[in-house]
Amino acid sequence: MKKVVPILVLILLISSFGLHNSNAQQDWKLIWSDEFNGIKGASVDTNIWKFDTGGGGWGNNELEFYTNKTKNVYQDGTGNLVIKAIKETIQNGCWYGNCAYTSGRILTKDRLERQYGRFEARIRIPKGQGLWPAFWMLGSDIGTINWPTCGEIDILENIGKEPKTVHGTIHGPGYSGANGIGLPYTGSQVFSDGFHVYATEWEPEAIRWYVDGILYQTRTPKDLPEGAKWVFDHKFFLILNLAVGGGWPGNPDASSVFPQAMKVDYVRVYER
């Protein structure tokens, strides 16, 4: 039977929802951002970002070689960062860096490192089998205690074979890799068709994930396996990258078209 909601109740519900969202947004103060307003073809601001470079699979059997070249990471002159994955041609009998693809991976390590806050980016992800765009965070102490003890917060991950689904996950000791704790969010449209806002609000003993302002999961220490440690109580840095291939997304196939680009309108960080 169809249930009819009285108009007054419906108005009250809508009003309450709007007030809640407004108050929640006012609780956060912008403290840092990169709007990517550089000239066309410019690299990223190296006062903000540094490059991870190299190949070798990155622990996931990935196929790309990350470069610091503007063919892979550049600003487009219209307010976007572009991270481009390119299928390279064979030169002198070998691939670029022994990898069939090049791409980009940038991070704020030693530049911007924060404990708690709202971390948000407006991104248009690429499309195609074998592509793996990500906006995520790693614990700043990774150099001394290694992964996953340092902790990892994945704000956005997508694998090309799931065009309508994105993932948010935490990784730590005893809950890493395929055992990471998270949920997928499935939208009504293909995410690569336009820009979307991906955000995480990270506070003591709580992490929340949003897509276009919609809260779709919250994680606390109660979600961890018995005896596991909550390692999200120290500074983290930000990472943007576009991987190609690997155990989770699988490798590109005949349907995959290159080059493909991950476009980032902005990255913003807020505090309470």
- Residues belonging to the active site: 152, 157
Spatial neighbors of 8 by CB under 8 A, at least 6 apart, are none
Question: Looking at the chain, how many residues does it have?
Answer: 272
Q: Is 260 within 8 Å of 84 (Cβ atoms)? A: yes
Residues 142, 152: Cα–Cα separation, whole Å: 10
Q: Is 77 within 8 Å of 41 (Cβ atoms)? A: yes
Strand (E) positions, the chain?
A: 29-34, 50-51, 64-66, 73-75, 81-87, 101-103, 105-107, 113-114, 117-124, 131-139, 152-157, 165-171, 181-186, 196-203, 206-211, 214-219, 236-244, 260-271
| 8-state DSSP, 16 | H
Structure tokens at 4: 């009819």
Strand (E) positions, 40-91?
A: 50-51, 64-66, 73-75, 81-87
Integer-rounded Cα radius of gyration of the chain:
20
Measured CA to CA in angstroms, residue 70 lies from 102, 103, 105, 196, 272 at distances of 11, 10, 12, 24, 36
Coil vs helix vs strand at 260: strand
Residues 173, 49: Cα–Cα separation, whole Å: 27
